[in-house]
Amino acid sequence: MRLIVIGNGMAGARLVSEVRARDKEIRVTVFGAETWQPYNRVLLSNVLAGSSGPDQVRLLDPSWYGEHGVEAVLGTPVVQIDRETRTVIAEDGRRVPYDVLVLATGSSAVVPPIPGVERAIPFRTLDDCQEILAASRTSSRAVVVGGGLLGIEAARGLAGRGLPVTLLHLAGHLMERQLDAEAGLVLGETLAGLGVEIRTGVSAAEVLPEGVRLADGTLVEGDLVVLACGVRPETELAAQAGLEVRRGVVVDDELRTDDPAVFAIGECAEHDGVVYGLVAPAWEQAAVVADVITGTAKDARYRGSRMVTRLKAKSVELAAMGETHLTEEHAEVVRFSHRARGTYRKLVIREGRLVGAILLGESAAVGTLTQLFDRGGPLPGDRAGLLFPGAGGAAVADSPVRMPDSAKVCQCNNVTKGQIRACWESGARDVTAVAAATRATTGCGTCRDAVEGIVGWLCEQEGVSA
C-alpha cells in the first residue's frame, strides 16, 4: 500500500507516527508546505514569550523519518489531487501515486481585508513567530488584533518581554466563544494587571506605520501589529479535487471523504457538522484513521470529541469546557466570582452531569472537573465541594495520592495516571522519559505539573530519586 499524507503539522505528523507504530511495511510519503520539521503549534506562545526555543517545540526528531522509512518532502506543497489516476502533483512538478490519501492541511490565518494590513504580521506559524520576535526587538509598542485564544497568548508573550501591548477585540468581551461576559471581564482585568491594555467592542479599519486606526477614527499607537483574527480551514485543494466541502472537508465516522480512498483529519476536517480547532481531537482522529487504513482495528470509528480549551499564558490560569453559555433557564448553574483575585468559576450542570465549566484563576479543581466532564458521569451532591476541593472533605483529584489510576492526566494524548505509573515501574524515572513513552505533556503542555507531581510522588514512595 502507498500512503500519502498532505500536511506535516500536528495532525499529519501524528498520523504518520501512528501508522508506522502499527505497520512497518506501508510506503509512506508526507508533504509539508513549511520547511520546518513538524512542531507543536500549541506551544508557539511559549516561543513568543521566550520560555521555549524552536527546537523545544519539535514533535519529531529530524532523524525520525529516515529511521522509520518515511519519505518527507518539506517546503513543497501539493498543488493538485488527480483522483482519477490517484496521483498528487507537487509544486515542484513531481507526481506521486497513492492508494490511500490523507488530507491534514490544517488552517490558515484569517487576514482582514483592510488597508495597510500587509504591514501586520499574522500569528500562526513558527515563521510568523520568528518574524514577530525579530520585529519586537526594534519596536516600542505592540498592537494585537483579536482577543481569542491566540491573540491573548500573543499579547501576554509580548508584554512578558517588556513591550507595552494593546489588545483589540471586536466582541464585547474576550474569548466570547468559550467564556461568558463576566469571565471575559475578569480575564481582561487579569491581563491588564500583567501589562496588556484591553480594548473590546472595537473594529480595526486600517493598519498604519504608526499603529491601527479604528472604525471610529481613533488611532491606537504601535509600531508592531500582530494579527490573531481567527483561522480558516484549508480546503481549497479538496474543493478543486471535487470532494465535498462545507466549512471543512466533510468526513464520516471513519474520517473518509466522499471518495473512499481519501481521508481528512484535523482542522481541515468537518465531522458531523463540527470543525475542531484543538489538538486533542486531531490526534484522536489520527488514531482512528491509522487503525482503519492499517487494518489494526477495522471497526474503529470517530464519534466526536469533548473539547477542553486551556489558555497557555504565563500567570494566567484558564480552562473552559463544553456548554459554558447556558443560563439558569436551561441548566443548573453554579458560579463564584472574586474579581479582585482574578478568580471566576462556573459549573453548568444538566441532568446531574457536568456539561460545561469555566475555571479562571489558580484552582485545584481543574483536574477533577475535567475528568467529570470528559467521562460524563453523575456529579456528587456537594456542588461547592467541586468548586473548592478539599474545603469540606472533598477529594482533590490533582493529588496523586487520591487520584484513581483511571484518571486522565493528559487530555491531549489520553494518558491516565495508571499508564504513568506503569511507565514509571518500567524504568521511566523523570518527566522526559514518561513523555517519550506515553506522549504525556507533548500536546498543550498544561499537564506537565501534574505529571511531575505523579512521578515525584512515585519516586518518594519507593525512596528513589527522580
- pLDDT on residue 394: 40
What is the SS3 assignment for 117? helix
Burial class (CB in 10 A: 0-12, 13-18, 19+), 372: buried
Alpha-carbon span 36 to 54, nearest angstrom: 10
Query: Which residues have C-beta within 8 Å of that of residue 282, sequence separation ≥ 6?
Result: 10, 11, 14, 104, 265, 266, 267, 276
Alpha-carbon span 222 to 130, nearest angstrom: 19
Residue 206 has pLDDT above 90, yes or no: yes
Residue 367 has pLDDT above 70, yes or no: yes
pLDDT digits (tens, 9 = 90+) for 397-445: 445 655 667 777 887 777 888 788 777 777 777 887 788 778 888 777 7
Alpha-carbon span 186 to 240, nearest angstrom: 45
pLDDT digits (tens, 9 = 90+) for 314-344: 889 999 999 999 888 889 999 999 999 999 9
Stretch 16-31: mean pLDDT: 96
| Owner of C-alpha cell 448553574 | 333
CB–CB of 7/32 below 8 Å? yes
- pLDDT on residue 402: 57
pLDDT digits (tens, 9 = 90+) for 265-290: 999 999 999 999 889 999 999 999 99
| Structural domains of the chain, ranges and CATH numbers in brackets | 2-108+232-294 (3.50.50.60), 117-229 (3.50.50.60), 315-397 (3.30.390.30), 399-466 (1.10.10.1100)
- pLDDT on residue 393: 40
Query: Which residues have C-beta within 8 Å of that of residue 307, sequence separation ≥ 6?
Result: 276, 278, 280, 281, 321, 322
Cell output for 301 = 470509528
- pLDDT on residue 332: 95
Query: Which residues have C-beta within 8 Å of that of residue 108, sequence separation ≥ 6?
Result: 124, 231, 232, 234
User: Dmax over Cα atoms in the chain, in whole Å?
Assistant: 67
Minimum mean pLDDT range among 27-41, 291-305, 353-367, 397-411: 397-411
Buried b (16+ CB within 10 A) or exposed e, 339-353: eeebbbbbbbbeeee
Full-model pTM: 0.86
- pLDDT on residue 201: 97
Q: Indicate the average pLDDT of the chain.
A: 90
- Considering only residues 306 and 293, tell me which one the structure prediction assigns the higher pLDDT: 293
The DSSP letter of residue 78 is: E
Residue 358 has pLDDT above 70, yes or no: yes
Q: How far from 204 is each of 135, 138, 172, CA to CA, in Å?
A: 21, 23, 14
Residue 465 has pLDDT above 60, yes or no: no
Stretch 39-62: mean pLDDT: 86
Q: How far from 418 is each of 403, 427, 431, CA to CA, in Å?
A: 10, 14, 15
Taking alpha carbons only, the member of 106, 104, 108, 107 closest to residue 15 is: 104
Alpha-carbon span 360 to 367, nearest angstrom: 13
Which residues share a beta bridge with 41?
none
Taking alpha carbons only, the member of 123, 129, 172, 125 closest to residue 152 is: 123
Taking alpha carbons only, the member of 186, 184, 188, 225 closest to residue 204 is: 225
pLDDT digits (tens, 9 = 90+) for 235-260: 999 999 999 999 999 999 999 999 99
Query: In the chain, pLDDT over 70 holds for what percent of residues?
Result: 95
pLDDT digits (tens, 9 = 90+) for 85-115: 999 999 999 999 999 999 999 999 999 999 9
pLDDT digits (tens, 9 = 90+) for 115-163: 999 999 999 999 999 999 999 999 999 999 999 999 999 999 999 999 9
Taking alpha carbons only, the member of 401, 387, 394 closest to residue 453 is: 401
Stretch 21-45: mean pLDDT: 93
